[in-house]
Amino acid sequence: MDLTSCPECGAVAEVQWRHVLESTDGPVEHAQIRCTSQHWFFLPVSYLSRAGIPGRPGRPSVVSRCQG
């Protein structure tokens, strides 16, 4: 399971699935994510924040909060 940060609220978001879509610039991998506040997005994986992804398995997941 991949985790990222919600673009809207910054909460931990789960990558539910990924799919490669053809574009004029070639195939672009997209992902559907849903955060703990039930926001969901379908966007290119390059838009995903990596702030919430643990570096290594077994380490605690620390979520960066830029706002608040």
Pick out residues in 17-46 that bind Zn ion (CB under 5 A).
35, 37, 39
Is 61 an interacting residue with respect to Zn ion (CB under 5 A)? no
By CB under 5 A, tell whether 8 contacts Zn ion.
yes
CA atoms within 13 A on the CB side of 47: 15
36 DSSP assignment: T
Closest CA to 5 of 38, 37, 43, 49: 49
In the complex with Zn ion, the residue whose CB is nearer, 23 or 36, is: 36
Closest distance of CB 49 from Zn ion, Å? 11
- Return the structure tokens found at 27: 């195939």
**Where along the sequence are the contacts to Zn ion (CB under 5 A)?**
6, 8-9, 11, 35, 37, 39
